[in-house]
Amino acid sequence: MKNETLYGEDDGLPIPEVGPWTEDKFDLTRLYCQIFSSSMKNMWTRVYVDLYAGSGLCRIKGRNQILLGSPLIALSVDAPFNRYIFCESNPERFSALKTRVEKNYAKHDTRLIAGKFEEHIDEICSMIPNKSIALCLVDPFDCDFDVDDLKRISKCASGVDFLCLLALQMDAKRNVPHYLLPDSKIDRMIGNTKWRERWNLRTDIHEDFAKFLAREFAQSMSEVGYLETPLHQMREVKTHDKKVPLYYLAMFSKNETAFKLWAQVLKYSTKQSSLFQ
């Protein structure tokens, strides 16, 4: 798969603006979708799930450059998934995505869900065949999601890999005093309230809050059988200008093979080289 599949064209429908670092995130997503679907195409029914699908296209701020959003990236892979499930809560973006998918990808098996994915968990799970493998992209704007919802989705197929954007630097790290209070959204993201005790009892008082929470989230995923995802296997995405950390993009799987594939993605996710050129 070549890099140009990352880019789109203005089609007159709504196109939200994004920061230039989004290109890095989507390049990683593109590579993993491609290698995941291609490597499993003769062995499994493959399902792609996008819980924050967006409109299908986005425009980089300050540039006249349009990127394919994650749904259209996944639909454009060389070996298409057998089924696609897209969730989007914003009505305008959902309408634009629906139009783009119906116009350009009518031959694909696509299921579009309008609304917050948390309110449609049963519906999402019913669309994922039991004897399948799934790749689920979790790309929220902040830390406001419940890890228990991901754990429910993880039980719907023979195997579910998650690509998770952990907005820990751009959200949690900027709001440390607030999130140390009881009943914060971090509790739902991590899946427990004991993390505060571990934070308060840490031996290194200079420990980075975002890194601490990333490890806590990984530990929570391991409680339902996911293999350890250490920090060095997460990609830290930064702003292009000041190199300020924004978030981690992390892969979670119950299969060692997935980590080998992810390692290749991390190695080749540059503008100069591609796994598929």
Instruction: Kindly list the structural domains of the chain, giving each domain's residue range(s) and its CATH number in brackets, ordered by start.
Output: 3-268 (3.40.50.150)
| Amino acid (1-letter code) at residue 261 | L
Give the integer Cα–Cα distance in Å for 38 and 28. Answer: 15
Contacts of 160 (CB under 8 A, 6+ apart): 128, 133, 134, 135, 136, 153, 154
Of how many residues is the chain composed? 277
**Confidence band of 151 (pLDDT split at 50, 70, 90):** very high
For 68-78, write each residue's pLDDT tens digit.
999 999 999 99
| Amino acid (1-letter code) at residue 23 | E
For 187-241, write each residue's pLDDT tens digit.
999 999 999 999 999 989 888 999 999 999 999 999 999 999 999 999 998 887 7
pTM of this prediction? 0.93
- Distance between the two ends of the chain, CA-based, in angstroms? 6
Nearest to 213 by CA among 229, 190, 232: 190
Give the integer Cα–Cα distance in Å for 248 and 235. Answer: 5
pLDDT of residue 267: 85
